[in-house]
Amino acid sequence: MKISLREPCQKNLLLLISTLLIVHHFPIATSVGVNYGTLGNNLPSPPQVAQFLKNRTTIDRVKIFDMNPDIIRAFAGTGILVSVTVPNGDIPALANPRAARRWVAANVAPFYPQTKLQYVLVGSEVLHWGDQNMVSNLVPAMRSIHAALVRSGLAAIKVTTAHSLGLLESSDPPSAARFRRAWATDVLAPMLLFHRQTKSPFMVNPYPFFSWSPNNTQFVLFRPNPGVRDRFTGKTYTNVYDLLLDAVHSSMEKLGFGDVQIALGEIGWPSQCDPGLSICTVENARWHNLNVANKSASGAGTPLMPGRKFETYIFALFNENLKPGSIAERNFGLFRPDLSPVYDIGIMREAQFGSGAATTPTPAPEAAVKQWCVPKAEASDAELQANINWVCSNGGIDCRAIQAGGECFDPNTVRSHAAFVMNAYYQAKGRQDFNCDFSNTGAVTASDPSHGACRYLA
């Protein structure tokens, strides 16, 4: 995302005042959702987690990434809302209504209403991760599962799916944003119609962290800055959170579904990163998630959606020591495995934890796992040239290395040049897999593509 900062002078004072007001209100306990992942070998048991959240925090909803019956059962009687996720690989089969009815009978009905199941998510980031069979069956599976829930007397449980923001063709300026053409008409329009008909939210995973670059730190961290002006609407954005949500809203409006509610399935900030990334600190993670929780509860909305509340799930509940990828991936947690807070964003009950002051984590040192982004073998030269054009003009990447005389000019081929700039973009934006999507022409590899004097970042 390209972010240009302008300097309207009077807004600085207003922003400072509003920031002070936000800080003033943050000590009040806030209800918010959280993603409960289990990729760790040192995590507490599900019953411990459920009782901890119920008795010692104000977290009132959790989202899990599977259908783990032990976790679902553990939340019975707690009053905490639970959302569950159908594995991506099960989606094609569940497009069949009979299979969906059997699935609901086996995986949902036995636990409800003892456990307050809220959403069934049909897959996770399917448009990004899934093959064509999963993508084409996504909306039919959502319809089949919804019909099965209604038929079983479980209509209160809504059906949705979570999307990465890789579904956007562009996000800046937000009013000009639109969904990628490959999915807009055939997948997203029918899906949004389903959401309207069933009164379920369109769920997205907006991560300001993955929009970070050294020149926009204040903007992504809700700190005072001059703001970014949308030249089409005249609206000024003082944080990337509002910008990304309005980009999603504008994309929905262009398909005629601006009335459908938006929920935030994942959003968070790591408290530790690979060496050299100073942006990942306990204080930055606390401040980011503090603002997200406040935005969720306040009803202030965004410039294009004033007065709206957004159901929000912070990522994540725990630091998970077995997550693959960068060190950041293992340090998104609000809590350590021993249930002590990495920091508090106003969700700790005062009786147990006093002022809830932030604490300093003591994570074990980890070795960084190096990965690179390269073109897929089947990607055409035309597609790869389009990637080069976009990264070098809109991606905020210095492309001089692939120009004549640069250390990565040779071999002088589209594929070689594309590999260098696609990887540079992937590394600069946080090494999240969707930053290597490039309209399904990129892939992450553990093999270093460096050659001769041309060194690829990692």
Is 383 tagged catalytic? no
Which parts of 36-115 are beta strand (E)? 61-63, 81-86
Q: Which listed residue (169, 253, 266, 311) is catalytic? A: 266
266 catalytic? Reply is yes
26 SS3 class: coil
Hey, what are 347's tokens?
Answer: 């969700």
Amino acid at 225: N
What's the CA gap between 132 and 142, in Å, rounded?
16
How is residue 273 written in tokens?
């990163």
**At a CB cut-off of 8 Å and minimum separation 6, what does 2 contact?**
172, 394, 395, 396
Label residue 277 left, alpha or beta by phi (over 0 means left) and psi (-120 to 50 means alpha).
Answer: beta
Catalytic residue among 7, 125, 283, 407: 125
Element (H, E) at 263: strand 262-267
Instruction: State the Cα–Cα distance between residues 59 and 56, nearest whole angstrom.
Output: 9
> Is 226:8 a contact under the CB 8 Å cutoff?
yes
Amino acid identity for residue 198 in this structure: T
Which residues are catalytic, by number?
A: 125, 266
